[in-house]
Amino acid sequence: MRHCCQFKADDIYYLEDTNLYSNRTLSIGFCPICKKPVAELKEVLFTGGINKTSVSGINAQNLMMSVKDSILYSVQSLNYKKQKSKPFGWKFGINKGYKNGQIKQYACDFYGNKELIKSV
């Protein structure tokens, strides 16, 4: 995203397709220099063209409110679901032994989630 400088979006929303556009995304964030909200809407025409709308300030809020009904999901909600569930993606095993001779095997992922698989 770009306003006073180039910066990364805080969240990206994926929107429903319409009669004219597909692959619609809404990126939102705050400019690190002037602290204004910035919204950027990217849409691909079915004929092949690209429509990119970038607004800031109160117009960014109006743009967000106009497309809020067509939001399918957001990147932030997907990341939250991945981190707060059972092990996801690449897994590795951890074996833990205790004094009474019992060994517990866990499956862990790189998000910090773990699940007890077997207790021997």
DSSP output for 82-115: HHTSS--SSEEEEEEE-TTS-EEEEEEETTS-EE
pTM here?
0.63
* 28/102: higher pLDDT: 28
Calpha distance 61→28 (Å, rounded): 10
What is the pLDDT, as a whole number, of residue 112? 72
**Across residues 52-63, what is the average pLDDT?**
90
Asked whether the predicted pLDDT for residue 82 surpasses 60, the reply is: no
Q: Which residue has the tokens 């910035």?
A: 38
| Confidence grade of residue 36 (pLDDT, cut at 50, 70, 90) | confident
Which percentage of the chain shows pLDDT scores above 90? 20
pLDDT at position 111, please? Answer: 67
d(CA 95, CA 51): 53
